[in-house]
Amino acid sequence: MGGTLIDYEGFPQYWGDYYVPAFKQVSDQLNLHAAEEHIHAAAETLKTYNPRLYPREIEYQPAYIFADVFHGWRIADEMIDTAIAAFFAYFQQTVMIYPETISVIDYLHVKGYKIGILTDVPTGMPTEVLMQDIRAFEDKIDYFLTSTDCGYRKPNAKGIEIIAERFGVDVSKIAVVGNEKKDVAAAINAGTVSILINRESTTKDYGEDLRISQLTEIIHLMENE
């Protein structure tokens, strides 16, 4: 989703440098009075699970990650989910939907195209927390799948294969739109049409089939297919 449908304004793709203030927010909101050493230890532990630092295709469940991250915080079991949500709320306060996202999704929906979202979650983010960021167009999405749900991160093709099976179509009938190299690689590994969306001024070439600079170009591709 990030960089394709939505953006977390002010944050780069790697969030590790902002883990400390996010954990401080957890401590403040839950009145935990966490010591600085525990806050910094949590940040360093979470970094060890960050696939931008340590690439992996296998996904870990949020409960597994944060059981390790919050070690020593003395958070009651019934408050763990609240603590996780408070951590990610630090980043979600800046979420922005790209101006053309909803109109393009509406167009595809009206035209009868099946729309699926396959997204790698930010390290440890539960699916239900991430879904808060697509509330404005959630009702137009036919299937929402995260790396947490399917157990694999891109460039692994498993998530795309699950969506193809869910929609009852061959993978070759699917077009995957993404903004990162791993998105294109996952599409290629699955045998789908790969579309790179590059909103930046820099040149990118990941071996994609098609290249666009904004989502509205998808409409023209569909009309000329």
Instruction: Kindly report, residue by residue over 41-94, the tens digit of the pLDDT.
Output: 999 999 999 999 999 999 999 999 999 999 999 999 999 999 999 999 999 999
Nearest to 113 by CA among 214, 213, 186, 193: 193
Cα distance between residue 23 and residue 87, in whole Å: 6
Q: Which domains does the chain have, with CATH numbers?
A: 10-92 (no CATH), 95-223 (3.40.50.1000)
Residue 144's closest CA among 105, 93, 111?
105
CB-based contact 190:182 (threshold 8 Å): no
Q: Tokens at residue 176, please?
A: 């995957």
- pLDDT tier at 223 (50, 70, 90 boundaries)? confident
For residue 220, name the pLDDT band (cuts at 50, 70, 90): confident
Q: Residue 224's pLDDT is what?
A: 73
Provide the percentage of residues in the chain whose pLDDT is more than 90. 96
The mean pLDDT of the chain is 96
Q: What is the pLDDT of residues 122-177, one digit of tens each?
A: 999 999 999 999 999 999 999 999 999 999 999 999 999 999 999 999 999 999 99
Burial of 222 (0-12, 13-18, 19+ CB in 10 A): middle
The predicted pLDDT at position 171 comes to 96
- Tell me: pLDDT of 178 over 80: yes
pTM assigned to the model: 0.94
Per-residue pLDDT at 225 exceeds 80: no
